[in-house]
Structure 1
Amino acid sequence: MTKRKIEDSLEADTERKKISTRDKSLYLDTINRKVLDFDYEKVCCVSLSSTNIYGCLVCNKYFRGRSMDSECFLHSINDDHHVFVNFDTLSFHILPENYQLDEQTASSLNDIRQQINPTYKDLKDIYQDTSLKRDLAGREYRPGFIGLSNFGANDYSNVILQALAHVPPLRDYLLLYPEKLHKTKLVGKLSLLVRKMYSPNLFKSHLSAHELMQFVSSSTNKRFSLHHESEPKDFLMWLLNNMHKELVSELQNNMISSIFQGKVELPSGKSKFWMLTLTLPSVTLFKDGAKLEIPQVALEDLLAAKKYKIAKAPQFLTFYIKRKDDTQKIAGVNGSNINPTVVKFNPSQLKVDTHVYKLIANVVYSSGQNENYSLEREDQAHYKIHVLDEVRNEWLEIDDLKVKPIEKDLLFLNQTYLQFWQKIA
């Protein structure tokens, strides 16, 4: 081959490479990051299949497969959308040409991979970084303190998921070891949600627990779902029991029981517990002039009234404040079965026998009320949560999507429902 022919050949190869590179990135500018939301259950929006699902990076819809008769391929033809991500492999594909982006080109889309499946090498920023982050719209947010969408009646699950996401040993495990949890279903989906909650690179400053709750709804025959109100304490008990069973059976890991489980001493012997129920004293509300006087009781007094002794104090102690009166007749409260007694406590310190605890999460019951303190019906109950931001030493109130600071001295003024205390001594 002559020198001229060799030069022509090299130029042709170079030109082909340029064309190839240009073709591979031809459609990438059609990606619309502002509409992308990967929190929903990964099922095809046409066939409802849950296998081999791809996400359209232009319109955020999910479709099955890449073959010429697949919903994904037809969508690329009919809607002129061309860039898709495989949720199992996190590879990117161009349709209808049907080729996969090489890793060099795909690396420009790593921010999308982090939206789908965030990963963490260490937790230094979670324990030290006090800076606020911004989403694509410029809204500020605190990683870890992210509002969760309410689809109509799932505030009961939102508060429990928020609480578990702020139990340090559980949170750290869920953040650091997603590959270990790949074989689990319930814990794996909770891990994904928590990893998204702590991400500093969110496209939107709010999230949805849709994928996790769809799995829970299916597993419980819709006992716990997005569209039917349930008791937060019942959801917590179900979660702890099933997470414990799954981790023990799949990974021989008993961390859930080591974190939350304690023992009480009863006349019949010792018994394990996940949470302790504290019953409020019966209440009658009397009018003082034009106002109703709401009774108050100290949390220490409720503990002192218990008829059992704690034989083994758990690392994290959970209290359920029983507010609902089975008689559904509370004098002075119009049509309510909710005991409005205020429970007073010091968030910084609670002595339980010989141990000392600090409050990290406080779930409160709320409902509509007027100047005469009339509460709405039980089926209109609503729950929100106060969580401690230890890095900034602040308390935040999270009410579904709303996140705002709250003074520590005002926590007890709400109708406490569930509390999570961390042992410090």
Structure 2
Amino acid sequence: MAASGVDANVVAKRRAEKRPKPSPYVDEEDIPIVKKDAKVDRSRSCPYLDTINRSVLDFDFEKLCSVSLSHINVYACMVCGKYFQGRGNNTHAYTHSVFEGHHVFLNLMTQKFYCLPDNYQIIDSSLDDIIYVLNPTFSDVMIKRLDRNPKLSRAYDGTTYLPGIVGLNNIKANDYCNVVLQSLSHVAPLRNYFLKEENYRKIKRPPGDIAFLLVQRFGELIRKLWNPCNFKAHVSPHEMLQAVVLCSKKRFQITKQGDPIDFLSWFLNATHSAMNGTKKMNSSIISKTFRGKMRVYSRKIPNVDLSDAEKAELLLLDEYQETVTEMPWLYLTCDLPAPPLYPDESRENIIPQVPFANLLTKFNGVTEKEYKSSKDSTMKRFELTRLPHFIIIYFKRFNKNYFVFEKNPTIVNFPIKNIDFGDLLAPEVRAQHKHTTYDLVANIVHDGQPGQGKGNYRCHVLHKGQGKWYEMQDLHVTDILPQMITLSESYIQIFEVRKDIPNPFYQAEMHAEASEAAEGDQENTGSVMEISGDVAENVQDVVDTKNTQEIADK
């Protein structure tokens, strides 16, 4: 009894002195208690937290070990910013901590901090800002305030920026991707959807499918662009572009200049397909935001070399009768008038101009245009039957023939606010739309000469919180007057519907009938959404046929 009493006093004294027990032959019930207390104290009072260097942390790049190039179990060193694999003995992260004296590491998957080589978890609220930069999260309240918040944010390096108005790195020749991604980040429904990862996290895809990687990377990029607590005032789209190269099978590359309209068309279709989108109108956020409908009227015309009698005989055949095709679209292609061949009287080349309204007459259902092929010619006219919430307009500036690649320098005179697309609709179709007035929210411009690898792209976006326009060209961000936007050589534009301006010709009864008819048509459609983009060129498919079904039966 005395011995046991002495042992108890010794244990109590050692606890009071907070010293570890030197002998392993002690009461087993005391061992886990002492070890647990020591572990908790050490986790919450790590002596190496002051070695963290936030200025070198960059989570925009691909999560690969800098030594083994493995993407499994990757940790980021909080002192130098490099990525290493593993945490146990003889791993790259363990070796780095021993040889370099860097002790704090972050697991990029579990978002937990560890101290190496001691190998214990660090729990400290002062590290929450690092986790938020790694994976920004947005609540419903924060999302609602984005378009009403005019305040600037201050990055860790001291620079100020507006969330959403953030430059993107141009790795080599990816400015054509940057302008599209920056423009889409200001499409409110698309942005709000991807700001919350739970909206698309549970989408099921077949095993081994890589298409969903595009959705994940785009969501990460959107959250970083709108993050109000960034460590720096710019973002690198490296991971997003790596997913683009992989999913497009190197059709779009980082090191080679491309066409923004080709990338935009492919990206919208690929994202829609990756989210299990179908032909139904609301099957994905892409379809719900950008998809419109039109009727295409086509009729073949006889050869001009034939006699009048032969032409009259051919026009009686079924082949030469007008046909009507219902088809969806993601963007509308506007054909620019040809520039003058010769200078004016003062021998000066004047840049031609054209009103935006003149270009839109192509879609009023009355204007016809001839489309020639190697076999025959066809007259077509286009009639819009449904306007989406966001309308994408593409100005066809580049023409390629057998000899040269030409650019049309015509300036389009377009209004920035209150564009009524209802004027293009038939009266019965216009009565089905609650709103037909649109405002410009994004404008993509091409500068320089045409040709492969020549010229560059920039974009203008509207920040609704401040009500100002900003010009972004890779990392260069500056404000711009609205009057200057109309003087640029616009290439792609995105318009948003004004829900505060009602359509005076709207009739609720006709809207209900049109909705019922649309639901009936969707029941007879297949599992793949058919999308037409460039409706001006023989209604050709604008997406890779390996990824998406052809748009129409020809």
Normalised by the length of structure 1, the TM-score is 0.89
The alpha carbon displacement at 1:185 in A equals: 2.2
Which residue is equivalent to 2:360? 303
Amino acid at match of 2:461: V
- The CA deviation string for residues 250-302 of structure 1, in whole angstroms up to 9 with x for no partner, is 9x952210111111111231111111111111112654658531000111100
CA distance 1:376–1:187, shift in 2 (3 Å): closer
> What CA deviation, in whole Å up to 9, does each residue of 1:114-173 have, x standing for no partner?
110000112243132211111122111001110000011000110111111100011111
Give a deviation string over 1:45-83, Cα, whole Å, max 9, x none: 111111111111111111111122322222222222111
Aligned counterpart, 1:164: 184
What is the CA distance between 1:212 and its match in structure 2? Answer: 1.0
CA distance in 2: counterparts of 1:91 and 1:5, whole angstroms: 38
Match of 1:238 in 2: 266
CA contact (8 A) 1:286 1:293 kept: no
Aligned counterpart in structure 2 of residue 126 of structure 1, from 128, 146, 150: 146
1:366 to 2:447 alignment: yes
Specify the alignment match of 2:350 in structure 1. Answer: 293
Q: Deviations over 1:323-380 (max 9, x none)?
A: 0122388xxxxx861110001100102222242211110001112xxxxxxx364421
1:317 and 1:422 in contact (8 A); partners too: yes
1:37 CA displacement: 0.7
Match of 1:199 in 2: 227
1:111-190 alignment to 2 at 5 Å? Answer: 111-121=129-139, 122=141, 123-178=143-198, 180-181=200-201, 184-190=212-218
Which residue matches 2:459? 385
Q: Which amino acid aligns with 1:111?
A: D
Query: Which deviates further from its counterpart, 275-284 or 377-386?
Result: 377-386
- Residues 1:198 and 1:11: Cα distance change in structure 2 (over 3 Å): same
Code of the residue aligned with 1:366 in structure 2: it is D
Of 191-200 and 177-186, more deviation after overlay is shown by 177-186
Match of 2:241 in 1: 213
Unaligned 5+ runs, structure 1: 330-334, 368-374
Q: Equivalents in 2 of 1:193, 1:80: separation in Å?
A: 33
In structure 1, the partner of 2:276 is 248
Give the Cα separation in 2 of the matches to 1:261 and 1:249: 12
Report what 1:92 is aligned to. 113
In structure 2, the residue matched to 1:281 is: 337
**AA partner of residue 280 (structure 1):** L
CA distance in 1, matches of 2:181, 2:202: 19
Match of 1:422 in 2: 496
* Partner Cα separation in structure 1 for residue 127 and residue 98 of structure 2: 23
Amino acid at match of 2:54: R
Q: 1:246 to 1:173 in 2, by over 3 A?
A: same
Closer/same/farther in 2, CA of residues 129 and 14 from structure 1, 3 Å limit: farther
Which is worse superposed, 285-294 or 274-283?
285-294
Q: Is the 8 A contact 1:178 1:191 kept in 2?
A: no
Deviates more, 1:44-53 or 1:159-168: 44-53
Q: For 2:495 and 2:402, how far apart are their aligned partners in 1? A: 30
Kindly tell me: are residues 296 and 378 of structure 1, through their superposed partners in 2, closer, same or farther at Cα, counting changes over 3 Å?
farther
Q: How far 1:186 moved relative to its partner?
A: 1.5
Counterpart for residue 64 of structure 1: 85
Task: Describe the SS at the equivalent of 1:96.
Answer: coil
The residue number in structure 2 matching 1:398 is 472
Partner AA of 1:403 in structure 2: V
Secondary structure of the residue that 2:398 maps to in structure 1? coil
Task: Work out the CA distance in 2 between the residues paired with 1:111 and 1:14.
Answer: 35
In 1, the alpha carbon distance for the partners of 2:242 and 2:459 equals: 22
Provide the secondary structure at the position in 2 that maps to 1:293. Answer: coil
* Residue 315 (structure 1) aligned with residue 389 (structure 2): yes
d(CA) in 1 for partners of 2:222, 2:198 = 11
Partners of 2:66 and 2:154 in 1: CA distance? 30
Question: Given the alignment of the two structures, is residue 34 of structure 1 paired with residue 55 of structure 2, yes or no?
Answer: yes
Matches within 5 A, 1:249-268: 253-267=283-297, 268=324
Asked if structure 2 preserves the Cα contact closer than 8 Å seen for 1:149 and 1:208, the reply is yes
Conserved 8 A contact 2:169-2:474: yes
Alpha-carbon separation, structure 2, partners of 1:356 and 1:249: 28
Matched with 2:327 is: 271
What is the deviation of 1:7?
6.2
Q: Which residue of 2 aligns with 1:223?
A: 251
Amino acid paired to 1:256? I
CA distance in 2, matches of 1:50, 1:377: 38
1:182 Cα offset (Å) = 6.5
The residue identity in structure 1 corresponding to 2:221 is L
Gaps of 5+ in 2: 21-33, 204-211, 298-323, 364-380, 425-429, 431-435, 503-554
Counterpart for residue 109 of structure 1: 127
Q: Which has the larger displacement, 177-186 or 152-161?
A: 177-186
- Residue 83 (structure 1) aligned with residue 104 (structure 2): yes
Cα 1:336/1:239, change in 2 over 3 Å: closer
Q: Distance in 1 between matches of 2:283 and 2:122?
A: 39
The answer to whether the 8 Å contact 1:178/1:188 transfers is no
Distance 1:322 1:119 in 2: 39
- Pick one of 464, 477, 487 that aligns with 1:413: 487
The code of the aligned residue for 2:490 comes to: T
Taking a change above 3 Å as real, the CA distance of residues 207 and 178 of structure 1, as seen in their structure-2 partners, is: farther
Structure label with greater radius of gyration: 2
Distance 2:120 2:161 in 1: 37
Contact 2:256 2:453 in 1 (8 A): no
TM-score by length of 2: 0.69
- Corresponding residue for residue 356 of structure 1: 437
Return the offset for 1:381: 2.1
Partner in structure 2 of residue 8 of structure 1:
13
SS in 1 for 2:293: strand
Residues 286, 117 of structure 1: alpha-carbon distance in 2 compared, 3 angstrom cutoff = same
Indicate the residue corresponding to 2:30 in structure 1: none
Give the Cα–Cα distance (whole angstroms) in 1 for the partners of residues 92 and 82 of structure 2: 11
Deviation at 1:18, TM superposition (A): 8.0
2:67 aligned partner:
46
